[in-house]
Structure 1
Amino acid sequence: MTINNDMSALVGFGCEAFFYGCYTIIFAMSIYLMLRRPPSQSSGVDRPIFIISVLLYVACSAHFTLEFIHFYTVLATKGTNGFANENNVLIGADLLIGVADFIGELILIYRCWLLWSRSYWIILFPTLTAVASLGCILETIHLLLRIDPTSPIAPPSLVPLGLASFVLPLCTNVLVTVLIAGRYLVPLPKAAIDIVIESGMLYLVVQLIFVILFAIRHPAQGVVGVIAVQIYGIASALIIIRVALGWSNTPTRMLHNAAGLMFRPVHTQAPMDYSIAPSSVSESGHRLEIHMSRMTLKLSGEDLGPRFSSAEIATAI
């Protein structure tokens, strides 16, 4: 059986309903974890992440609501024939796809900004591609209303601009994924798991599939397109849960991991007694204290000096 646009839209709505339910549960967990963290814990999720995540859930919920209204009204009045044809409700839903995509990218960009010590130069290009993609989506919808407002998929003349609307956020996701992957200082396979979640790689895969289907004008884009909206939210909520639980690589954790890699004993004449306590690394002050007894340290391949006897080194960073 060959899938057509109407069947694709019906299947897409059912799939989106399932993923929206999953997203609602995960989002509720992320909100609970964010609100229960004590104010004194500076490693908790900050206000921008909280606000952006709520906006993303509102956008995804609004999209599903419009899809449900379309599902109910069209089936009640026309049946399945022409179910995928565009109307005012679906135009609003298409607009929310671009908005949800943009908000989801903001969360990824913000996390990348934090991991790269709040460097604006790092996120400049991803931010520009995210803004450009939103502009392309708005113009694509505007032209669609003028050219063929009832077309179930983009007319051939709009495919290049529509393709740019989805390739640009894909580029944003690839850039952010590479930047986050390059910032991790934890060993594999844990690094692979961290990168997949922190960079929203699931987000990237769904975007890539949708871009391919959109480029060849395949009816299955009606399934992947609506699923992608909820995947944007799920990927972002998973990041927030990791941060709230303290599993994410915050700048402090990366500092601790780096300390563990940089400071290693190379020669001793007596039993060693040294430790790097996690509690000695704090967000405020960023002070790393190392206690050791009769040992030699090597930092970045260079011997720091002779053996120490009952010495204490405190390095302020």
Structure 2
Amino acid sequence: MSSLSLPAAELIAQTLGCILFGVYLVTLGIAARLLLTMESGKLKRRSAINWTIVIVSIVIFVNATLNLVVSTIAIVQAFVLYTGPGGAEHVFMNGSGWQTIVKSFTVPFQSLVGDSILIYRCWFLWNKNWVVIALPLLVWLANIACAIRLLDLLGQASQGLVISSTVQPWGQAFWSMTICINVMATSLIVGRIWMVEKDNRKFGIDTLSQNRPRTVLSHAMQNIIESGMIYTVLSIFTLVTYTLQSTLHYPASHLEIQSVGITFNLIIIRASRTSLSRQDVASADAVTVPIHFTHPQANDDQNSSTPVGDRQEVVRLSHDKDSEIMFAPTRMV
């Protein structure tokens, strides 16, 4: 199935890629300011910066820029420099050309980076429990193998499309597993936030809400769900166009690669603004909420001035250096 000619699809893809890259740069600038500076505008101390998130942001930026630059070179070569038989389509059909290989590398690589940070967030929120992320992690590793095999097949093809029958099964497997990882990790993250929110409401605590109708946790769930939906919907669109062997896959892949960076930045921006809107946590890194309950038995061995009936269970809600909402383990004190 091919609804557009290959040259037309490449031109549309390049146009959409440039527009979304501009959106990405705007969100990156805002996110970088939140990651690297304080409210006063001064640079944060090195120890106060979350370097993991900063490095991931740099990797995503370099990869997205590389894809756009190589796509531009291919467009210029096809429509301006090449004057041989077959026209622009001949250039785009060169399956083993370095432009095709680089573009085919940057798109799945961007998705793998986005999936890895999603799994990392899930692992952190679940108290660094490896069992919880075992399945998403295994699928992610399998996805790396699919991407490598996909690039290997493209490198062996002298002529053909990235949506050709030879490489299609591997591409289908890659995008299918990308969707699965996104759904699983997002569900686990939202589930963890919902569990903490449920516990807080169970004990009559509206965490940090200051009598507002919605809590920080509710905003966090909405942020994660909305960002995850953007990425998932575009991944499904990419999978459908790839399966149908439609040239619409080229615009879809450009939407996909830029959406990873945009959604990554939006999570940082929206989480930061939600945090800063709470006056009681504007200058704090963490808030501890005591929940009182009565124990049926006393511990005689414990020399504590606190009565047994006043012992507390602490739920700690912390805003880390890049303004993601993280949760420390619930513990007895």
CA distance in 2, matches of 1:238, 1:12: 23
Q: Which of 154, 161, 174 is the aligned partner of 1:152?
A: 161
CA distance in 2, matches of 1:314, 1:131: 42
The residue identity in structure 2 corresponding to 1:124 is A
CA distance in 2, matches of 1:149, 1:243: 47
Structure 2: any 5+ residue segments left out of the alignment? Answer: 198-213, 297-308, 315-330
Cα deviations by residue, 1:80-129 (Å, 9 ceiling, x for unpaired): 44353232112111111121111111221122122222222222221221
Q: 1:200 to 1:135 in 2, by over 3 A?
A: same
2:63 maps to 1:63:
no
2:9 maps to 1:8:
yes
Aligned to 1:25: 26
Q: 1:289 to 1:174 in 2, by over 3 A?
A: closer
Aligned to 1:195: 224
2:21 maps to 1:49:
no
The residue identity in structure 1 corresponding to 2:242 is F
Aligned to 1:99: 109
> RMSD value over aligned CA atoms?
3.4
Q: Which of 68, 82, 85 is the aligned partner of 2:90?
A: 82
Task: Give the superposition deviation at 1:201.
Answer: 2.2
Q: 1:101 to 1:76 in 2, by over 3 A?
A: same
CA distance in 2, matches of 1:121, 1:2: 45
Aligned to 1:141: 151
TM-score (norm: length of structure 2): 0.70
Task: Give the superposition deviation at 1:192.
Answer: 5.8
2:237 maps to 1:209:
yes
**Aligned residues: percent identity?**
22
CA distance in 1, matches of 2:68, 2:57: 17
Cα deviations by residue, 1:218-259 (Å, 9 ceiling, x for unpaired): 1111110122111111111112223444549xxxx9xxxxxx
Task: Give the superposition deviation at 1:210.
Answer: 0.6
CA distance in 2, matches of 1:190, 1:245: 10
- The residue correspondences of 1:121-270 to structure 2 (distance < 5 A) are 121-146=131-156, 148-185=157-194, 190=219, 193-197=222-226, 200-245=228-273, 247=275
CA distance in 2, matches of 1:2, 1:99: 27
Aligned to 2:324: none
Q: 1:232 to 1:214 in 2, by over 3 A?
A: same
Cα deviations by residue, 1:38-72 (Å, 9 ceiling, x for unpaired): 869x9x86221121121111111111111111112
